[in-house]
């Protein structure tokens, strides 16, 4: 599965960079992140509860930074497993200053396997886009509120629709 | 012999219980103290197993046993493969993966719990540490230079190479006016019987008796294999095939679950049942087809086919199941179809990939053969701008050419291909169809007509050509009360032999079919049999029944003749009586003669009492049903939708015992082909994930997708068996895909396109139309 | 195919159900017809701790005229909608859409409230509900509120319903004279979901020669069903002709990111949106003119 696009964040690249590479703040951006703790240089262990509406699952895995070129580009690697399946992905983020804001170009690939791959095909693309969208929305909120953001991990907002 | 019942459309004896839900499938069987097994399966297509931690699962409520590959190491032999291809590499699958998994769905651990809910929940507590490896999914990439071998100790992913050549191919291509090349794909399919697999095993330690109920097509072969795999005395293994809800070849196999569940029952001393979920069935029950064929055909300008060359890549999956390597070789045998092609060559490369194994699926290699040769005929017709009907007719053998020897080494028993073709053309009113097509094309409407003239090889078969024997057994016993038991080694699972063999028994012995009870599927009751597959149950199994009936009849005739004082050679069996032909008053009731055999007071001298005869029938040849199918479709150029407008099927399966059943088989086979042509495709993504993982994403044909099937028959009996019966179980599936493919290609001809690979999904057809709009003539 | 364990609760009244839903929040799912929830649970894609069965609640299954509108209870099944004489005469788009949902078994059990709340991207009703400008009534422990269809669908499987709310009713205006509607669907052959589904609801002008107003609801194309406003603008006020319909339909997928999966690419969906918009609009016009 390939994911590519751009997002605009209301802060200069240096600030965005520090947000993305600070695990205590990053954990608030990852949708459903319950835990993010160091596991080696540039590596973190994470547990994430992610879902859309009725479909949700818990995943445990690692998050890794690579090829950091502050404040302009980095590669983010994720490797997570849960009962619904596994996800392994790698994405490059490129930050560019744009009139006081930052334009982020992201380009990545993810491999998905297990249950969600065998029965969830038609929703995978949209689910991935949703995760990315939520990530950047959370980033915007975090940047807007500065360092005094709520300490609770972000949840899924309105996606509590009832499955019937 | 009277034919009061043979040839008549009797309703089936099987149906009342099936329709009322009174039959017993594996999952309906319950034994006291029964436990449930559940399998943990790999979510990775290719990975090393670093460790399997069963500790949490073992402690879970209700769990009594949990085992991994290392726990059973050596206790159960690998999954057997009966096919022998010279120099084939080892592709043996351990029943539980130990160090490495090689396809999504491969079983990694098994546990047993007191109920199926606890079993399923405990699966989530098993922790497996996988080290993912790069999956190899594309068969051509799998055998490209540098590809990592999937099996230890092998240098590449070539499982086997096989070739067949007959006639002078070099001369054929030298003499050709044209050589046409085409690559075609016969896509991987998931067979989808309504009933998924299931196994119930019970071990009685006192008697040492192991009983296994399995949804299987081959109870005796399964029994032998379970005994071998578990190193357990075969005489103490009892296998029963209860009601089986469809097999289509998927249950002509020996699966790890069958051996493991038996093993678990022995270990626990409690009955253990496993019921396969649909998702497991998709991932871990055999798949069908999956060939890439590179064709080259040498032709003369007048349409004569001089020679055919074909290079096949057969994607076998990661491991062999029972007949995996054999299936593509059947394509080679039938590659010249019903044409007099003097020279032919096929090279098959069997390839290992990280997928489930392919094996026999309705047609087993022959749909692939008919598909390729029929596409060839259409491509030749398109190239030469000739009518595809005439190109076919030109290359047919004549009826007098039979038995006809093919360059592939087969001898076709009997055939009249012209007759079937002419009948189909008449029923379809072919000329009118072409006129209608021309008219519609002017209105920018795209109607297509597809022809499939086919012959197929079935009635499997002479043992010299079969991996584990091709004979069939039957014991006929007339019970003291005059009822007849027919114990057949065939194992019907929808084919209707409880009815057709009863029809046969009734006609041979002059009684009513209701008096004849056909018994099958129980290894303790029925003599050793090979089973039901390859359209053999009637041709081979039925012949064994027929011969046993004749033996019993002959004995009864002697008993009756002895009683009435007549010539045993001149006794007639009719209406429940046995009487002398020349003086009908000299008669005994059927029951009276039967009774005499048991009471044994008035038997002829030297005659043994009892009324039982057993036959093991070895066929001298395969049988070769044939026919012509014509399909009419219309393509919606805007959406790519393919609509079935008409379907004409003329089939010749030799003599017919029950026309209702033959029609049913033909219809079912055709619909299954519609599935392959229009809807079905087992899709593994680049990670080896089976993304068509449920019926939500794998479309099967439905009644609403079908048009009415106009069926007719020609009858060309086979000399291979006394019944003259060829078999018809797979013919529909073999014939129909090319008819559909031909129709779609014909519809797209105005766009300059002459071949599209199946399935003809809407988007694919829409792409073809959109890209080629400008070429419309 | 065995769900994870859950606690089953069957409240006897809507109030009791609302209290349960509020109390359990995220850990509960509502069960009506079950044909969306149960497959997810059997696959263990959904593992709710509580299943609150409202399928037997009385007084939530009806189709009636009320204050000049047609009110449909949330627990009304697709079959009941398909066969409703009242809807056949006052709002034929809805029975036409219901008839194309899934199969007989799904239609006999599935409910309109359940389907709308689940908001599957390939569901059929959303297109019709949008084209009809329906109102959705949601109840919570403090009362009820009305959500216009246009605002209801937020994202894939996500609606405007808050946690603690239960969809209780759908309200539709009866069809006006000179109006007609049609639902055209390209179905995914395995599941029956809409790859693209277009509901067109048109109001013709004097003499039936112009389109006064058009409402087009499209489902299946993207993560959520939406109103094809570009098409509506291109039709509104225009003199009816094949070309007008054709041109307007070209905008079917405007501004929308199409889904792409193993069954249909985004490119194909976009193109089919155009084709099916044209077909739906053309048929809606025929219906408006009095033809069937």
Give per-residue pLDDT as tens, B214-233: 999 999 999 999 999 999 99
* CB contact (8 A) between residue A117 and residue B694: no
Beta strands per DSSP E along A31-148: 33-38, 43-52, 55-69, 73-82, 85-98, 101-113
pLDDT the model gives residue A146: 67
B378 class by beta-carbon count within 10 Å (0-12 exposed, 13-18 middle, 19+ buried): buried
pLDDT tens-place values along chain C, 292 residues long: 899 999 999 999 999 999 999 999 989 999 999 998 999 999 999 999 999 999 999 999 999 999 999 999 999 999 999 999 999 999 999 999 999 999 999 999 999 999 999 999 999 999 999 999 999 999 999 999 999 999 999 999 999 999 889 999 999 999 999 999 999 999 999 999 999 999 999 999 988 999 999 999 999 999 999 999 999 999 999 999 999 999 999 988 888 989 999 999 999 999 999 999 999 999 999 999 986 4
Distance from CA of B693 to the nearest CA of A (A): 4
C271 touching B, CB under 8 A? Answer: yes
Cα B94 → chain centroid: 25
Asked if the Cβ–Cβ distance from A55 to C111 is below 8 Å, we say no
Question: What local confidence, expressed as pLDDT, does residue B335 receive?
Answer: 97
- Given a cut of 70, whether residue A157 has pLDDT beyond it is no
Helix (H, G, I), strand (E, B) or coil at B152: coil
Sole residue written with tokens 């160090």: B99
| pLDDT, position B777 | 56
Q: Quick one: tokens of C129?
A: 């509900």
- State CA C87 to chain mean position distance: 15
A150 pLDDT band (50/70/90 cuts)? very low
Q: How confident is the model at residue A145 (pLDDT cuts 50, 70, 90)?
A: confident
Does A123 touch chain B if contact means CB atoms closer than 8 Å?
A: no
DSSP string of B386-436, one letter each residue:
--HHHHHHHHPPPGGG-SEE-TTS-EE----HHHHHHHHHHHHTHHHHHHH
Q: How far is C275 from chain A (nearest CA, A)?
A: 22
Name the residue in chain A with its Cα closest to that of B682.
A118
> Could B279 and A118 be called an inter-chain contact, meaning their C-beta atoms sit closer than 8 Å?
yes
Low-confidence ranges of chain B (pLDDT < 70): 1-2, 777
End-to-end CA distance of chain C: 44
- Six-digit token string for B728: 């018809």
Run of H or E residues at B261 = helix B256-268
Query: Taking Cα atoms as reference points, which of C151, C153, C149 lies closest to residue C222?
Result: C153
At residue A144, the pLDDT reads 84
Rounded Cα gap, residues A46 and A66, in angstroms: 17
Residue among B277, B699, B762 minimizing CB distance to C1: B277
pLDDT at residue B71, rounded to an integer: 96
* Contact flag B697-C189 (C-beta cutoff 8 Å): no
Q: Do A52 and C156 touch (CB under 8 A)?
A: yes
Task: Measure the CA dihedral B515/B521/B526/B532, to 10°.
Answer: 100
The predicted pLDDT at position A161 comes to: 38
Alpha carbon distance B151, C269 (integer Å): 42
Question: B686 contacts in A (CB within 8 Å)?
Answer: 111
Q: Which of B116, B691, B696 sits opposite C2 (nearest CB)?
A: B116
Strand blocks (E) in B32-76 = 35-41, 47-53, 63-68
pLDDT bucket at A20, cuts 50 / 70 / 90: confident
CA-CA distances (angstroms) from residue B556 to B516, B562, B574?
16, 10, 13
Instruction: Describe the crossing of helices B731-748 and B762-772 by its angle, rounded to 10 degrees.
Output: 30
- C191–B697 CB contact, under 8 Å: yes
Mean pLDDT of A144-164: 46
Distances (CA, A) of B207 to A96, B234, B269, C201: 79, 14, 12, 75
Q: Is A122 on the interface with B (CB under 8 A)?
A: yes
Q: Please tell me the distance from the alpha carbon of residue A46 to that of residue A136, in angstroms, as a whole number.
A: 19
Domains, chain A, with CATH or none? 2-159 (3.30.530.20)
The answer to whether A164 contacts C31, with C-beta atoms less than 8 Å apart, is yes
Residue A160 has pLDDT above 70, yes or no: no
Q: How many Å lie between the alpha carbon of C191 and the closest alpha carbon of chain B?
A: 5
CB contact under 8 A, A158 and C160: yes
Among residues 23-62 of chain C, which lie with CB inside 8 Å of chain B? Answer: 39, 43
**Chain A residues with CB within 8 Å of chain C CB:** 52-57, 83-84, 115-116, 119-127, 129-130, 158-164
B694–chain C Cβ distance below 8 A for any pair: yes
| ipTM of the complex as predicted | 0.95
| Cβ-Cβ contacts under 8 Å, B116 against chain C | 2
* CB-defined contacts A:C, below 8 A: 110
All residues of chain C having their beta carbon less than 8 Å from the beta carbon of residue A160 are 25-26, 161-163
Smallest Cβ distance to C1: which of B278, B678, B762?
B278
For an interface test with B, give the residue of A87, A121, A122, A124 to mutate (most B CBs within 10 A): A121
| C-alpha of B216 from chain center | 13
Gap from A122 CA to chain C (nearest CA, Å): 5
C188, C191, C262: residue with CB nearest B683: C262
Q: Which residues of B touch C186 (CB under 8 A)?
A: 639, 762
CA distance A115 to chain C (A): 8
Which residues of chain B have a Cβ shorter than 8 Å from any chain A Cβ?
43-45, 104, 124, 132, 279, 282-283, 685-687, 689-691, 693-694, 696-697
Comparing alpha-carbon positions, the chain A residue that sits nearest to C75 is A164
In angstroms, the CA B390 to CA B387 distance is 5
DSSP codes, C70-120: EEEETT-BHHHHHT-HHHHHH-THHHHHHTTSS-HHHHHH-BHHHHHHH--
Structural contact between residues B259 and B95, judged by C-beta atoms closer than 8 angstroms: yes
Interatomic CA distance for residues B377 and B370, integer angstroms: 10
- Cα pseudo-dihedral C220, C221, C223, C225, rounded to 10: -70
Determine the residue of chain B that is closest to A117 in CA distance. B691
CB within 8 Å: C156 and A122? no
Q: Burial of B118 by CB count in 10 Å (0-12 exposed, 13-18 middle, 19+ buried)?
A: buried
* Token duo for residue C161: 């319903």
Chains contacting A (3 or more CB pairs within 8 Å): B, C
Taking CB atoms and an 8 Å cutoff, what residues of chain C touch A123? 121, 156-157, 261
**Are the beta carbons of B691 and C262 separated by less than 8 Å?**
yes
- In this predicted model, what pLDDT tens digit does every residue of A93-142 receive, in sequence order? 999 999 989 999 999 999 999 999 988 888 888 888 888 888 899 999 88
B360 burial level (CB within 10 Å; 0-12, 13-18, 19+): buried
Which chain B residue is nearest to residue C196, measuring alpha carbons?
A: B639
Q: In whole angstroms, what is the distance from residue B615 CA to residue B607 CA?
A: 19
Which of B351, B354, B335 has the alpha carbon at shortest distance from B343? B335
């Amino acid at each position: 599965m390939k994911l590519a696009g751009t997002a605009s964040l209301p802060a200069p690249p240096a600030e965005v960079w520090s947000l993305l590479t600070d695990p205590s703040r990053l954990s608030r951006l990852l949708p459903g992140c319950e835990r993010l703790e160091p596991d080696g240089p540039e590596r973190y262990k994470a547990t994430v509860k992610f879902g859309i509406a009725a479909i949700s699952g818990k995943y445990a895995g690692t998050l890794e930074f690579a090829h950091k070129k502050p404040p302009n580009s980095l590669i983010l690697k994720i490797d997570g497993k849960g009962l619904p399946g596994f996800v392994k992905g790698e994405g490059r983020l490129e930050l560019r200053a744009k009139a006081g804001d930052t334009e982020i170009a992201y380009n990545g690939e993810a491999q998905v396997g297990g249950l969600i791959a065998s029965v969830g095909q038609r929703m995978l693309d949209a689910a991935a886009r949703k995760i990315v969208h939520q990530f950047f929305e959370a980033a915007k909120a975090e940047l807007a509120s500065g360092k005094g953001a709520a300490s609770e991990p972000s949840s899924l907002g309105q996606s509590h629709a009832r499955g019937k | 012999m009277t034919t009061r019942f043979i040839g008549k459309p009797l309703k089936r004896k099987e149906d009342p219980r099936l329709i009322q839900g009174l039959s017993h499938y594996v999952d309906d069987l319950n034994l006291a103290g029964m436990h449930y097994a559940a399998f943990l399966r790999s979510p990775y297509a290719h990975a090393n197993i670093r460790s399997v931690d069963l500790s949490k699962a073992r402690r879970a409520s209700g769990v009594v046993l949990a085992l991994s590959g290392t726990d059973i190491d050596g206790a159960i032999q690998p999954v057997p493969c009966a096919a022998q291809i010279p120099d084939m590499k080892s592709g043996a699958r351990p029943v539980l993966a130990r160090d490495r998994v090689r396809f999504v769905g491969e079983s990694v651990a098994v546990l047993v719990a007191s109920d199926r809910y606890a079993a399923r929940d405990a699966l989530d507590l098993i922790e497996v540490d996988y080290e993912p490896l790069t999956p190899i999914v594309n068969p051509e990439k799998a055998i490209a230079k540098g590809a990592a071998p999937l099996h230890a100790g092998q240098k590449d992913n070539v499982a086997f190479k096989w070739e067949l050549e007959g006639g002078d191919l070099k001369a054929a291509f030298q003499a050709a006016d044209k050589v046409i090349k085409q690559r075609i794909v016969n896509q991987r399919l998931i067979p989808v019987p309504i009933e998924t697999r299931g196994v119930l095993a019970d071990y009685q330690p006192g008697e040492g008796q192991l009983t296994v109920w399995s949804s299987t097509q081959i109870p005796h072969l399964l029994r032998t294999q379970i005994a071998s795999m578990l190193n357990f005395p075969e005489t103490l293994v009892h296998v029963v095939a209860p009601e089986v809800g469809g097999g289509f070849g998927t249950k002509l196999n020996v699966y790890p679950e069958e051996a493991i569940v038996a093993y678990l029952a022995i270990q626990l001393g409690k009955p253990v049942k496993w019921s396969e979920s649909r998702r497991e069935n998709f991932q871990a029950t055999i798949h069908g087809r999956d060939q890439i064929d590179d064709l080259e055909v040498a032709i003369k300008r007048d349409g004569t086919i001089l020679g055919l060359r074909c290079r096949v890549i057969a994607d076998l999956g990661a491991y062999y199941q029972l007949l995996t390597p054999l299936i593509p070789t059947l394509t080679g045998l039938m590659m010249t179809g019903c044409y007099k092609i003097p020279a032919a060559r096929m090279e098959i490369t069997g390839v290992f990939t990280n997928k489930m194994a392919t094996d026999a699926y309705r047609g087993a290699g022959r749909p692939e053969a008919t598909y390729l040769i029929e596409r060839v005929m259409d491509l030749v017709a398109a190239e030469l701008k000739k009518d595809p009907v005439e190109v076919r007719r030109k290359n047919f053998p004549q009826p007098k050419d039979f038995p006809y020897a093919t360059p592939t080494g087969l001898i076709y028993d009997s055939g009249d291909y012209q007759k079937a073709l002419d009948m189909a053309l008449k029923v379809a009113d072919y000329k009118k169809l072409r006129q209608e097509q021309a008219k519609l094309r002017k209105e920018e409407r795209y109607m297509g007509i597809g022809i499939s003239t086919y012959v197929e090889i079935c009635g499997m078969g002479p043992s010299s050509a079969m991996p584990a024997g091709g004979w069939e057994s039957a014991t006929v016993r007339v019970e003291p009360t005059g009822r007849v038991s027919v114990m057949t080694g065939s194992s019907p699972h929808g084919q209707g032999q409880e009815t057709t063999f009863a029809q046969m028994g009734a006609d041979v012995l002059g009684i009513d079919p209701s008096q004849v009870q056909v018994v099958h599927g129980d290894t303790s009751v029925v003599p050793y049999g090979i089973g039901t597959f390859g359209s053999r149950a009637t041709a081979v199994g039925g012949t064994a029944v027929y011969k046993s009936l004749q033996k019993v009849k002959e004995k009864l005739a002697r008993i009756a003749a002895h009683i009435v004082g007549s010539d045993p050679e001149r006794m007639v069996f009719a209406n429940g009586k046995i009487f002398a032909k020349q003086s009908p008053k000299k008669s005994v009731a059927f029951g009276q003669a039967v009774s005499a055999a048991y009471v044994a007071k008035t038997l002829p001298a030297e005659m043994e009492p009892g009324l039982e005869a057993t036959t093991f029938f070895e066929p001298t040849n395969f049988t070769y049903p044939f026919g012509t199918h014509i399909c009419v479709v219309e393509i919606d150029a805007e959406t790519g939708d393919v609509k079935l407008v008409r379907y004409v099927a003329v089939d010749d399966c030799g003599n017919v015992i029950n026309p209702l059943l033959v029609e049913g088989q033909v219809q079912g086979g055709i619909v299954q082909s519609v599935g392959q042509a229009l809807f079905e495709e087992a899709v593994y993504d680049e990670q080896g994930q089976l993304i068509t993982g449920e019926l939500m994403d794998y479309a099967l044909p439905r009644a609403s997708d079908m048009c009415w099937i106009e069926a007719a028959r020609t009858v060309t009996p086979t000399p291979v068996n006394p019944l003259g019966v060829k078999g018809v179980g797979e013919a529909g599936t073999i014939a129909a895909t090319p008819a559909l493919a031909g129709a779609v290609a014909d519809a797209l001809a105005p766009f300059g396109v002459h071949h599209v690979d199946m399935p003809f999904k809407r988007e694919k057809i829409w792409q073809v139309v959109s890209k080629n709009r400008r070429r419309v003539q | 195919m065995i769900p994870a364990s859950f606690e089953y609760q069957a409240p006897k009244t809507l109030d009791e159900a609302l209290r349960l839903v509020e109390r359990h929040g995220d850990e509960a799912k509502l069960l009506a017809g079950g044909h969306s929830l149960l497959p997810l649970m059997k696959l263990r894609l959904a593992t709710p701790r509580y299943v609150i069965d409202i399928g037997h609640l009385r007084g939530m299954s009806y189709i009636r005229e009320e204050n000049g509108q047609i009110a449909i209870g949330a627990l009304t099944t697709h079959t009941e909608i398909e066969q409703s004489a009242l809807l056949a005469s006052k709002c034929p788009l809805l029975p036409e859409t219901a008839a194309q949902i899934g199969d007989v078994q799904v239609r006999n059990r599935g409910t309109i409230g359940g389907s709308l709340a689940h908001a599957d991207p390939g569901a059929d009703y959303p297109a019709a509900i949008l084209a009809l400008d329906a109102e959705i009534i949601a109840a919570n422990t403090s009362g009820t509120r009305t959500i216009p269809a246009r605002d209801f669908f937020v994202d894939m499987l996500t609606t405007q319903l808050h946690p603690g709310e239960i969809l209780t009713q759908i309200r539709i205006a009866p069809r006006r004279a000179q109006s007609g509607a049609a639902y055209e669907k390209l179905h995914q052959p395995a599941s029956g979901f809409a790859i693209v589904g277009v509901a067109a609801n048109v109001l013709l002008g004097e003499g039936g020669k112009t389109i006064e107003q058009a409402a087009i609801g499209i489902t299946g194309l993207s993560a959520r069903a939406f109103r094809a406003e570009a098409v509506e603008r291109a039709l509104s006020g225009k003199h009816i002709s094949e070309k007008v319909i054709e041109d307007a339909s070209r905008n079917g997928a405007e501004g929308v990111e199409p889904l792409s999966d193993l069954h249909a690419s985004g490119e194909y969906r976009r193109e089919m949106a155009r084709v099916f918009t044209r077909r739906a609009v053309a048929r809606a016009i025929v219906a408006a003119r009095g033809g069937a």
